[in-house]
Amino acid sequence: MKKSVFINGIGVVTTQGVWRAEFFSEVRVLDHAITPADQPSYKGLISPGAIRRMSRGMKMGIYAAQQALAEASVTIPDAIVTGTGLGCSEDSDKFLRSLWENEEQFLTPTSFIQSTHNTVAAQIALQLQCKGYNVTYVNGGISFESALLDALLLLQTGEEEHVLLGGVDEIAEQTYAFLQAAGYIKADGIQETVKNNVSPGVNYAEGAQFFSMGASRMTSSYAEMIDVTLQNELEVSETASFLQDFLVANNFRPEDIDAVILGYNGDEKDDLFYNALQQELPLATPLYYKHLSGQYDSCSAFGLAAAAFVLKYQTVPPILYWNEKNPPKTTWKNILLYNQYKGKDHSLVVVRAC
C-alpha cells in the first residue's frame, strides 16, 4: 500500500523575491532577456565568509531550503533530493575562464570544488548535519521532476518521513552568454513578455524552489502530491495519449482536473505542445507562470509552488490566468502541471487539495 505524500512547506528565492503570503499579489511580469533573482539578505543564515565564497545558487538554495523546512517545522529532513539543469555554472565558468586565461597555471581549487552539480544539496546537508539519503538529478527540463519522482518513491514506500525536495538554477554570465549566442535566450535589450513574444529565444532567469515533503498531513500542508511521470521525447500528436495514460494510471477522468498549469514560455514551437494538451482538458482552467519565473531548467518547480498556493488558499491569483475569460470556479481540487522544453523532457505532475 502506497503512503500519501504531502507538500508541507515551501521556500523560494526567485525573480519575485522570497516565498510569502503576498507572493502572487506583488508580482511583476518579466520583460527582459535575463532577470536575476531578487535575493534576500543571507546574514544570520550563512556566515559572512561563506556569503562571499558561495555562488548565487548555493545561497538561494540554502535560504529556500531553510524556509521550506521551517514552515513544515522540520529541523533535519531524512533525505535531500534536488534537481538542477546546469548545476553550479557560476563556479564552472570561473574555473574554466582561469583555465583559458592562464593556460592551466595559477589555478585555485575553490571554484573547482564548488563546481560539481551536487554542491547545493551537499552544502545543505553540511549546514543541517543531515546524513541521510542525498541525490542530485541533472537532466534539463525534468531535473526537478526527477528529484520529485525520487522523493515520491522514498515517501510512498515508507522509507522516509520527511524529504527536502528542491530545484535550483543560477545565472552565470558566461554560460548564459553562450545560451544567448545559440539563440535559447533573447538578445540583450529586447523587451518582450511571454504573451507578446516575437523575437527568437525566450526570457531566462534563475531561482531556487524547495518543498518540505512529508508522509503526514500537517496544519501547514498545501496539497497532496499524487504522482509524476517523465518522458524524454514526444511528438505533438502523442501528447493526448501521454496525458491519457497518466490520468488512467491515477484513476482520473479529464473532467476531474480543475486547472492545468502549462509551461508556456513564449516559444512558438513549445506552444504547440501546451495547446495540444489543453485541448484534451476543455474543462480545466489553463494557468501559466513562466511570465513571472522566467525560463530555467528547474523553473517548473515555480509552477508547483503556484499549484500548491492555489490549492491551499482555494483562489487563483489573477496574474496566473492564461486566458482573459475563465469559467467561474469556487473550488480547486485537482491541478495538473505539464512542462517540456523544445520538445524534450516532458513531465506531468498532479496535485490535489488536502
Partner 1 sequence: MTDRGVAVTGIGIISSIGETVEENLQALLAGKHGLSRIANFPTRLQEHIWVGEIKRTNEELSDSLGLSLPHAFTRTALLGAYAARQAVESAELRDAHDLRTGFISSTSVGGMDYTERYGPTYLNSPEWHRYISSHPAGDSSHKIAQHLGIKGLVTTVSTACSSAANAMMMGARLIRSGRLDRVIVGGTDALSKFTINGFHTLMILSDAPCQPFDEHRKGLNLGEGAAYLVLESEESIQRQDKHVLAYLAGYGNANDAFHQTASSENGEGAFLAMQKALAIAQLAPQAIDYVNAHGTATPNNDLSEGRAMQRIFKGNVPLFSSTKPFTGHTLAAAGAIEAVYSILALQQGVVPPNLHFNTPMEELDLIPETTGQHRSLSHVLSNSFGFGGNCSSLIFSKA
By the criterion CB under 8 A, which residues form the site for partner 1?
Answer: 80, 85-87, 92, 95-96, 99-100, 103-105, 107-109, 112-119, 121-123, 125-126, 128-140, 142-143, 146, 150, 153, 156-157, 174-175, 177-179, 181-182, 184, 229-233, 297, 344-345
Specify the residue, 35 or 143, whose C-beta has the smaller distance to partner 1. Answer: 143
Nearest to 5 by CA among 158, 153, 214: 214
Give the residue with the Cβ less far from partner 1, 136 or 293.
136
Place of cell 517523465: 230
Minimum CB separation of residue 328 from partner 1 in Å reads 38
Relative orientation angle of helices 119-128 and 56-71, to the nearest 10 degrees: 50
Q: Enter the C-alpha cell of residue 313.
A: 488558499
Task: Tell me the C-alpha distance between 132 and 136, whole Å.
Answer: 13
For the bound state, the minimum distance from the C-beta of residue 316 to partner 1, rounded and expressed in Å, comes to: 31
The nearer residue to partner 1, 227 or 258, going by C-beta atoms, is 227
Can you tell me the distance from the alpha carbon of 10 to that of 65, in angstroms, rounded to the nearest whole number?
A: 8
3-state secondary structure of 289: coil
Q: Measure the CA–CA gap between 321 and 181, rounded to whole angstroms.
A: 32
Q: Is 60 helix (H, G, I), strand (E, B) or coil?
A: helix
Nearer to partner 1, 333 or 342 (CB): 342
User: What is the rounded CA–CA span in Å between residue 9 and residue 263?
Assistant: 23
- How many angstroms separate the CA atoms of 63 and 40, rounded? 8
Distances (CA, A) of 77 to 9, 165, 166: 12, 10, 13
Residue 134 beta carbon to partner 1: minimum distance, rounded to whole angstroms: 4
Q: How far is the CB of 123 from partner 1 (least distance, A)?
A: 7
DSSP code for 46: B
Of the two residues 182 and 198, which places its CB atom closer to partner 1 in the complex? 182
Residue closer to partner 1 by CB (options 122, 236) is 122
Q: Which C-beta is closer to partner 1: that of 150 or that of 270?
A: 150
Task: Closer to partner 1 by CB, 47 or 323: give it.
Answer: 47
Rounded to an integer, what distance in angstroms lies between the CA atom of residue 49 and that of residue 302?
30
Nearest distance from residue 93's CB to partner 1, in Å? 9
Rounded CA-CA distance 137/117 in Å is 8
Shortest distance (Å) from residue 338 CB to partner 1: 16
Distance of CA 167 to the CA centre of its chain: 5
CB of 337 to partner 1, least distance (A): 17
Smallest gap from Cβ 88 to partner 1, in A, equals 10
Tell me how far the alpha carbon of residue 162 is from its chain's centroid: 19
- Say which residues have a Cβ less than 8 Å from residue 17's Cβ, sequence separation at least 6: 23, 26, 38, 40
